[in-house]
Amino acid sequence: MALKSFIDVPRDSHFPLENLPFGVFKTPNESNGRIGVALGEYVVDLAALGAKGLLEGPFDRDSLNEFLSLGRPAWRKVRTTLQKLLAVDTATLRDDVDLRERVFHRQRDVTMQLPVRIGDYTDFYSSYHHAHNVGTMLRGPENALMPNWKWLPVAYHGRASSIVVSGTDVRRPRGQTKAPDATAPTFGPSKSFDYELEMAFLIGPGNPLGQPVKIDNALDHIFGFVLMNDWSARDIQAWEYQPLGPFLAKNFATSISPWVVTLDALEPFRKSLPKQDPVPLDYLRAPNDVTFDIKLEATLQTASMKDRHVITRTNFQNLYWSIAQQLAHHTVNGCNLQPGDLLASGTISGATEDSRGCMLELTWRGANPLTLPNGESRKWLEDGDTLSITGWCEGDGYRVGFGEVTGKILPAA
Ligand code: MN
């Protein structure tokens, strides 16, 4: 049964009272962002509620970092207070016309910013099918997975400075590439521009240097999730990635959605983690480890095709490693995570062909181009293309959704 607010929330909205995702927004006349939650077509201004004494917390800020550092009891208290304040039978805000004027902004009238100042960003490689497909292309099916893959959640440290909020245009990068049969590399715009459908979670309080987070406590350190597109230049990647991993093929832009959906909002959509074989080492084992049933889609729109066309349909449950395992592994050597750090899943591909989460897999490195409804075809993304990713959990009479992360590709400068 859906909760009811005095604010009308359409049945298929991503942002019912059950969700209340956190973000940072700016109204047209103001220079500083502040914190709000999404409800239906509105942003609820938490700074305005704070000024009125109805809510306690660091909401008159242009990032969630300080709020994230407070930890789950504080996050939960705010969520519970908001759900009560916004409920259909609570009069405090409902019947105060002046206050409502200050507290509710239409989402279409505000600009969303990055929700956090991201200090560090890590990208995992946790989908079995993605790793297997990519490995098969590079090394053949016999050696598709590296020997470490089922023993530890493989990852690389990415770059935080080039993470941008949804809606930001993304420029095709230039770089060094080398065709397999060429004797020397050439320099120019990437010819194999790709997306990667991912999700990422934000770190709450974090841990001191030298003190690992035990897997049983890992979820206490996770505030919530965003959608992520890890834009990738495959030709640059192929030439540069050995032996130290991705570098310029990945760090020119990474897009995230503006609304952070809390673990509390995802609670009803918990699923048990599929069995892992081999059984992981002790520090990666939690008796009741969880994943989440989150439906995910990527759509492509081209300059000459107005409608969005779905090219990936997948689910968060396709990940082999859990977020608790990722976090426990990340800190097991004493590495310290800090409020606002972003840890991403890696491309989320499933077993079926339509669940592949990037062009590299969908077209099998360009061998089987996609045909779009208007007759255009794509081996890779082209200038003028817009790639969007959305995701949601289907509840009983409501949806807990993530909105979207979208970006349009501009020609190389
Ligand atoms: Mn990635």
The CATH number for 47's domain is 2.30.30.230
Which residues have a catalytic role annotated? 130
In this structure, the answer to whether residues 152 and 213 fall within a common structural domain is: yes
Structural domains of the chain, count = 2
Boundary of a domain, candidates 113, 144, 168: 113
Ligand 1 centre and the CA of 113: distance in Å? Answer: 22
Beta pairing class for 305-315 and 399-410: unpaired
In this structure, the answer to whether residues 166 and 30 fall within a common structural domain is: no
In this structure, the answer to whether residues 58 and 161 fall within a common structural domain is: no
pLDDT at 82: 98
Ligand 1 centre and the CA of 318: distance in Å? Answer: 15
Boundary of a domain, candidates 91, 113, 135: 113
Q: Which residue has the tokens 């990208």?
A: 123
Structural domain containing residue 253: 121-410
In this structure, the answer to whether residues 129 and 200 fall within a common structural domain is: yes
Instruction: Determine the longest span between alpha carbons in the chain, in angstroms.
Output: 74
In this structure, the answer to whether residues 72 and 140 fall within a common structural domain is: no
Burial 34-53 (b: 16+ CB within 10 A, else e): bbbbbbbbbbbbbbbbbeee
pLDDT at 29: 85
- Domain contains 13: no
Ligand 1 centre and the CA of 147: distance in Å? Answer: 20
Entry pTM: 0.98
Half-sphere exposure at residue 19, Cβ-oriented, CA atoms within 13 angstroms: 33
pLDDT at 413: 92
In this structure, the answer to whether residues 272 and 211 fall within a common structural domain is: yes
pLDDT at 138: 87
- Domain contains 332: yes
194/186 Cα distance (integer angstroms): 20
Domain CATH for 165: 3.90.850.10
In this structure, the answer to whether residues 51 and 165 fall within a common structural domain is: no
In this structure, the answer to whether residues 247 and 352 fall within a common structural domain is: yes
Ligand 1 centre and the CA of 394: distance in Å? Answer: 26
In this structure, the answer to whether residues 202 and 303 fall within a common structural domain is: yes
In this structure, the answer to whether residues 366 and 223 fall within a common structural domain is: yes
In this structure, the answer to whether residues 252 and 386 fall within a common structural domain is: yes
In this structure, the answer to whether residues 171 and 96 fall within a common structural domain is: no
**Per-run averaged pLDDT (10 residues), the chain, 413 residues:** 92 97 95 96 98 97 98 98 98 97 97 98 98 94 96 98 98 97 97 98 98 97 98 97 95 98 98 96 94 98 96 98 98 98 98 98 97 97 98 96 98 96
- Domain contains 390: yes
Say if CB 126 and CB 319 are below 8 A apart: yes
pLDDT at 179: 93
